[in-house]
Structure 1
């Protein structure tokens, strides 16, 4: 494989990493003393993915109830353009304990153009608490979330009027990360789903090379309705809500 071909693959497939893009944008910590109520309504949201202005695939987020206090959050995406393809899934198992989101297991899978990857992370409450990455490191668990269940709290934080948020999580590479989220505007969006009012937020990173924006709709319980990322001024990817249904 030539150097130029490798660079093209990396440039084209990185924006397809919708799971990673969703995760680092939406992560927010649960702080039990600030949450009066944490009702969970199972739902399924479907998004159209765009690259270079073209429709390149689809992404889905589905929240399901497994038991009295146990839930599943599943993210999937499948995108392709020309000879490039990317298929991903993230699956979180978690519980609600006294209004607090408690991660239990996290699974990540990626296949397509470029290297495939799988990851399993378990969160143990025994003793002082540990985060174990399969075939990787073990960390002390200090309230970090997995790569996606922060979304469960995000709606509550925005509904309460929070405008500046901070969080810790373990990403899909099995690494501990820390980011911030800042509310920047309110807009009316025209999406495949239709016109909808949304709160716009920006991801705060240490690096200034990437900019990520996300929009959440109050009328849909602050569900994500759009996500857009730029690198050094060029758009890398854009996903927009196509359908939403409660279950």
Structure 2
């Protein structure tokens, strides 16, 4: 259970098949923000709970260098009885203004704790449309024709697209195993009031779309906080697995 819970948390503290752009339910546009309005540095800290029990914490830290190269660092740290699980990721990317999307350059993932440690280090070669496994030196079998994201920065792309008024999303992503995967999402509620450790926040609810409903994952993005992810929650077969809620935010 802990392993599955941590996978979900890392996919968000760190989480596509995107064609040229996300699929819009209504292309007549509810666009509210451009990519440069949404992409601002921030540091968000979260508390991880299950039911009434607190058993971990996480953070997302987004910064930009003077030459406009962005870096996202994420971490989740859980302790549950004698079990422990710490996952960290670093994503380096640039902002493609013309196509309104993020373009990855490097992705590093590390998992330590109970059980086997795991890691992956990928280098994204945009000119060649290739992804190299830095540890092995081999190119990955990845179809990079249009947009491609890593498992950490895809949540940043999602909040950009939510801020632009889209309602359905499909992304191609390179995951923490160095494999190609597809993530689909849709807006489920345009306004919900959340009571978080941070305080009361109005947010947009987005759900992960899967082929079956055994697992359900939900994300909330707050327009008043520049669409930063303020909450994430996962259920398995109707039972809550974990909830990550915003505790503090510096922007």
Does the TM-score normalized on the shorter chain lie above 0.5? Answer: yes
Task: Confirm or deny that 1:172 pairs with 2:173.
Answer: no
Tell me the SS of whatever aligns to 1:68.
Answer: coil
Could you say which residue in structure 2 is the equivalent of 1:4?
none
Moved over 4 A (4+): 21-24, 27-36
Deviation at 1:228, TM superposition (A): 0.4
Q: In angstroms, what is the RMSD of aligned CA positions? A: 2.3
Could you say which residue in structure 2 is the equivalent of 1:15?
5
Tell me the SS of whatever aligns to 1:199.
Answer: strand
Using structure 2 for the length normalisation, give the TM-score.
0.85
Q: Distance in 2 between matches of 1:43 and 1:196?
A: 17
Q: Distance in 1 between matches of 2:123 and 2:212?
A: 29
Tell me the SS of whatever aligns to 1:15.
Answer: helix
Tell me the SS of whatever aligns to 2:95.
Answer: strand
Tell me the SS of whatever aligns to 2:11.
Answer: helix
Q: Distance in 2 between matches of 1:192 and 1:159?
A: 23
In structure 1, the gaps of 5 or more residues are: 1-10
Task: Confirm or deny that 1:121 pairs with 2:122.
Answer: yes
Could you say which residue in structure 1 is the equivalent of 2:61?
62
Could you say which residue in structure 2 is the equivalent of 1:141?
144
Aligned residues of 1:103 and 1:146 also touching (Cα < 8 A):
yes
In structure 2, the gaps of 5 or more residues are: none
Task: Confirm or deny that 1:48 pairs with 2:71.
Answer: no
Identify the range of structure 1 (95-104 vs 76-85) with the bigger mean alpha-carbon deviation: 95-104
Q: Which of 226, 230, 233 matches 1:225?
A: 230
How many positions carry a matched residue from both structures? 233
Q: Distance in 2 between matches of 1:43 and 1:206?
A: 34
Q: Distance in 2 between matches of 1:117 and 1:51?
A: 25
Aligned residues of 1:225 and 1:240 also touching (Cα < 8 A):
yes
Q: Which of 189, 194, 198 matches 2:194?
A: 189
In the TM superposition, what whole-angstrom CA distance separates every residue of 1:84-124 from its partner, at most 9, and x where no partner exists?
A: 11111010011123344210000000000111101011111
Aligned residues of 2:13 and 2:58 also touching (Cα < 8 A):
no
Identify the range of structure 1 (135-144 vs 229-238) with the bigger mean alpha-carbon deviation: 135-144
Q: Distance in 2 between matches of 1:214 and 1:38?
A: 19
Aligned residues of 1:28 and 1:154 also touching (Cα < 8 A):
no
Tell me the SS of whatever aligns to 2:112.
Answer: strand
Could you say which residue in structure 2 is the equivalent of 1:96?
95
